[in-house]
A and B are shown apart, each in its own frame.
Chain A
Amino acid sequence: MRARDQRERHRELGWCLALAIVLALAAVSVYPVFAEAGQQWWLPVIVLAVGLLVAVKRRRAGAILPSALILLGFCWLPLARYYAFGPAYRYGWWGPVPVPGQLVLAEAYAFLLLGGWLAWRQLWRHPAAARLVLGRTAGRSEAGQPWGLLLLPAVIAVASLATSDYSGFWAPLTVLLLAGSMLVIRRSPDLAARMAVAGLILLGLAGLAVAIGAQRALRFGDPSGYPLLGAVIVSSEVMVGLAIGEAVGLLGLGCWLLPRAFPEIRSLASAAELTRRVQRLTESREVAVDTAAAELRRLERDLHDGAQARLVAVGMSLRAAERLIPTSPDAALALVAEARETSARALTELRELVRGVHPPVLADRGLADAIRALALDCPLTIETDIDVPGRLPAPVETACYFAVAELLTNVAKHSGSAVARVSAEHAGGLLRIAVTDFGLGGADPVRGTGLAGVERRLAAFDGVVAVNSPVGGPTIVAIELPAVLSPCA
């Protein structure tokens, strides 16, 4: 408990340090711009102060990000004006690409919007701080929120009108944009997220175009040095590099967020996969149904020709014996003995039948021991290495058992090997079984029906079969299928 508190405190400390560093850097780089543009310096300071106040009040670092974003937005606003109207950029910096300050302006709006929204969320969760900043509007019921939402854009509008000659067309548009966005965020966060992601991608693309245009302009002669960011003299190459970096960053972020904001994209991508899966399922279901029907027919035939016929014979022998007892007891005795033998044969046949339907060891002990029993019954010497600690779903057990039985029969019939090895393990929700022999090799799943049968049998469980059988051996047949292991009873 104490350790966690300490970690928490360290984290907060780290946040505050990071904030201090970022702010110091921002102040150093931005201050000259404000100075040159005649921008009032107090607005960002107020924003920052409010942000810090909230941070301190909440004893959390959560309010720092929004205030930093808003600050960044305010820093960007004069830059935009510089691009648009500044004397240094009136001619040719961007070459033929006509980019006034709109792009930078858009960035400024984005920062303001994001920061404002985050700040709003923080304030709303903390009514005391909200009241401190926004007065009585905050902390009211939900119904008050839309109006409260308009407060931030209004503050920004007043601030931008009051602080600059930057007015006319852009100021009301800014306010409108902000207000509209806030309402969209409030009413439909999903739509807002989509718009934001689309915006990020567009900004990134536009930024790339601009930067590439600038680079071309640079290459074909540039008229002057570019004292961007005021007193901090940076070379044009560095600026272009920064612009490209920023554009790529925005683009990357947008693309990364794209499938999160637009789930349909993900489903579009998986639609093809789904179609394939449905097709596979249809095929494997048909096979499963066919196999089940064929098995039932075989069962019926075996019972009819085997055990049933023998029981009829038993009944007839006993009836005949009944008749013979008074007249010739010896003959009757022979008939009874015959009936007993026939009933024993019927039992043997029933036993074989049941073994083919559901082997007793499989029912008693599960797959691991059933494979061990199979190995013992097999005429070859089979080494087993089985690590399946628990029971699998009954249909999976049965399918795997008969798959292994089929594979061992194949080994006995075709490989010429007297030794084989069965290994099985369950890990990470997957059951893996491998049957290895050291015989002739050259097994071809396309030619033989055995391997194809194994594959069909397992397809119903999303199982896959891999065959590696170079001529000269060894042959490894590996089975893998998803299966949930439950602990032994």
Chain B
Amino acid sequence: MRIVLAEDQFLLRDGLARLLEAHGFEITAAVDSAPGLLRALLDRQPDVAIVDVRLPPTFTDDGLRVAIEARREVPGLPVLVLSQYVEQLYARELLADQRGGVGYLLKDRVFNDDQFVDAVRTVAAGGTVMDAEVVSKLLGRRARDEPLARLSAREREVLALMAEGRSNSAIAQRLFVTEKAVSKHSTSIFTKLDLAPSDDDNRRVLAVLAYLNG
């Protein structure tokens, strides 16, 4: 799997590249600025791009802007955005095109390399991965809303993990239950929230996030 990596701090860029290569990814380009990133994305058309939000030249949200611009040029180009902070505003902008193939994670998540590599694979496959912090804020904001209030505590947990972009098996593993139980919870959640049920993981994530963002 070919990856374009954009990170301006040398140590992190190097560390990420080594971590990814150790998991069998191929780094086709590692860049340190926004213009370089745009060129690499459009020229190399990687399977997935891993992008730091804050990049030169302005050191604000250049990486995010380039990611969104590149996805406008190449619809559905898989991008996993990393940042020291996660902002709901930026999550919304990334999700706005409703295409999937998007991830938005705190840099800390790299500490857990298995989960991180899973996330990279999910995004590359066109899935959607949201940081737990974004999801918990989304849930917190809608907590008082009538349909969400009807969910049981366990259902809420499942909903949060679904919104983060995890598959049924990953959720089952995480909650120490069977996959069948997760699937039952998920059906119940979709009924309570009045969402069209979907077996497709990716469409399920997008539906849940759209609901929470709405």
Chain A residue numbers with a CB within 8 Å of B84 are 347, 351, 360
A351 touches B85 (CB 8 A): yes
A360 touches B85 (CB 8 A): yes
In order of increasing CB-CB distance, the 8 nearest A-B pairs are A364-B60, A376-B88, A373-B89, A364-B61, A360-B85, A344-B108, A347-B108, A373-B87
Interface residue tally for chain B (C-beta within 8 Å):
19
Chain A residue numbers with a CB within 8 Å of B140 are 379
Q: With A348-B108, A354-B85, A360-B85 given, name 19 new contacts (CB 8 A).
A: A340-B111, A344-B111, A347-B108, A351-B84, A351-B85, A360-B84, A360-B87, A363-B60, A364-B53, A364-B54, A364-B60, A364-B61, A365-B61, A373-B88, A376-B88, A376-B89, A379-B140, A379-B141, A379-B144
Complex alpha-carbon distance, A344 and B107, angstroms = 10
A-B contact pairs, 9 of them (CB 8 A): A344-B108, A344-B111, A351-B85, A363-B60, A369-B89, A376-B87, A377-B88, A379-B141, A381-B141
A interface residues (Cβ-Cβ under 8 A, vs B):
340, 343-344, 347-348, 351, 354-355, 360-361, 363-365, 369, 372-373, 376-379, 381, 418, 489
B92 contacts partner chain A, Cβ-Cβ < 8 Å: yes
Smallest CB–CB gap between A231 and chain B, Å?
Answer: 86
Chain B residue numbers with a CB within 8 Å of A344 are 108, 111
Smallest CB–CB gap between A174 and chain B, Å?
Answer: 76
Complex alpha-carbon distance, A203 and B114, angstroms = 97
A361 touches B87 (CB 8 A): yes
Complex alpha-carbon distance, A372 and B213, angstroms = 13
Smallest CB–CB gap between B156 and chain A, Å?
Answer: 16
Smallest CB–CB gap between B213 and chain A, Å?
Answer: 9
Smallest CB–CB gap between A337 and chain B, Å?
Answer: 10
Chain B residue numbers with a CB within 8 Å of A381 are 141
- Residue on A nearest B145 in the bound complex, by CB: A381
Complex alpha-carbon distance, A378 and B58, angstroms = 28
Task: Say which residue of A354, A373, A418 sits within 8 Å of B144 (CB atoms).
Answer: A418
B27 contacts partner chain A, Cβ-Cβ < 8 Å: no
A361 touches B141 (CB 8 A): no
B141 touches A355 (CB 8 A): no
Chain A residue numbers with a CB within 8 Å of B85 are 351, 354-355, 360
The proximity string for B residues 131-148 relative to A, scoring 1 for CB distances below 8 Å and 0 otherwise, is 000000100110110000
Chain A residue numbers with a CB within 8 Å of B143 are 379
Smallest CB–CB gap between A355 and chain B, Å?
Answer: 7
Complex alpha-carbon distance, A355 and B88, angstroms = 14
Complex alpha-carbon distance, A340 and B111, angstroms = 7
Complex alpha-carbon distance, A415 and B54, angstroms = 37
Chain A residue numbers with a CB within 8 Å of B90 are 361
- Residue on A nearest B107 in the bound complex, by CB: A347
A361 touches B89 (CB 8 A): yes
Smallest CB–CB gap between B81 and chain A, Å?
Answer: 13
Chain B residue numbers with a CB within 8 Å of A354 are 85
Which residues of B99-158 have CB atoms within 8 Å of chain A's CB atoms? 108, 111, 137, 140-141, 143-144
Chain B residue numbers with a CB within 8 Å of A378 are 141
The proximity string for B residues 39-74 relative to A, scoring 1 for CB distances below 8 Å and 0 otherwise, is 000000000000001100010110000000000000
Complex alpha-carbon distance, A361 and B85, angstroms = 9
Smallest CB–CB gap between B63 and chain A, Å?
Answer: 10
Complex alpha-carbon distance, A156 and B140, angstroms = 94
Complex alpha-carbon distance, A275 and B61, angstroms = 45
Which residues of B20-43 have CB atoms within 8 Å of chain A's CB atoms? none
In this complex, the member of A354, A364, A489 whose beta carbon has the largest number of chain B beta carbons within 10 angstroms is A364
Complex alpha-carbon distance, A347 and B86, angstroms = 13
Chain A residue numbers with a CB within 8 Å of B61 are 364-365
Chain A residue numbers with a CB within 8 Å of B60 are 363-365
Chain A residue numbers with a CB within 8 Å of B87 are 360-361, 373, 376
Chain B residue numbers with a CB within 8 Å of A360 are 84-85, 87
Complex alpha-carbon distance, A378 and B141, angstroms = 7
- Residue on B nearest A382 in the bound complex, by CB: B141
Chain B residue numbers with a CB within 8 Å of A373 are 87-89
Smallest CB–CB gap between A344 and chain B, Å?
Answer: 5
Complex alpha-carbon distance, A377 and B142, angstroms = 11
B111 touches A377 (CB 8 A): no
Chain A residue numbers with a CB within 8 Å of B92 are 376
Chain A residue numbers with a CB within 8 Å of B141 are 376-379, 381
Chain B residue numbers with a CB within 8 Å of A489 are 58
Chain A residue numbers with a CB within 8 Å of B144 are 379, 418
- Residue on A nearest B65 in the bound complex, by CB: A364
Complex alpha-carbon distance, A360 and B61, angstroms = 9
Chain B residue numbers with a CB within 8 Å of A372 are 89
Complex alpha-carbon distance, A340 and B110, angstroms = 11
Smallest CB–CB gap between B148 and chain A, Å?
Answer: 13
A377 touches B108 (CB 8 A): no
Smallest CB–CB gap between B32 and chain A, Å?
Answer: 18
Chain B residue numbers with a CB within 8 Å of A347 are 84, 108
Complex alpha-carbon distance, A489 and B85, angstroms = 22
Complex alpha-carbon distance, A401 and B89, angstroms = 15
Smallest CB–CB gap between A333 and chain B, Å?
Answer: 15
Complex alpha-carbon distance, A348 and B111, angstroms = 13
In this complex, the member of B60, B89, B90 whose beta carbon has the largest number of chain A beta carbons within 10 angstroms is B89
Smallest CB–CB gap between B111 and chain A, Å?
Answer: 6
Chain B residue numbers with a CB within 8 Å of A355 are 85
Complex alpha-carbon distance, A192 and B163, angstroms = 83
- Residue on B nearest A373 in the bound complex, by CB: B89
Chain A residue numbers with a CB within 8 Å of B89 are 361, 369, 372-373, 376
Complex alpha-carbon distance, A365 and B87, angstroms = 12
Smallest CB–CB gap between A318 and chain B, Å?
Answer: 14
Smallest CB–CB gap between A417 and chain B, Å?
Answer: 12
Smallest CB–CB gap between A340 and chain B, Å?
Answer: 6
- Residue on A nearest B89 in the bound complex, by CB: A373
Complex alpha-carbon distance, A489 and B60, angstroms = 11
Complex alpha-carbon distance, A376 and B88, angstroms = 7
Complex alpha-carbon distance, A418 and B144, angstroms = 9
In this complex, the member of A351, A354, A372 whose beta carbon has the largest number of chain B beta carbons within 10 angstroms is A351
Smallest CB–CB gap between B201 and chain A, Å?
Answer: 25
Smallest CB–CB gap between B108 and chain A, Å?
Answer: 5
Chain B residue numbers with a CB within 8 Å of A369 are 89
Complex alpha-carbon distance, A355 and B137, angstroms = 15
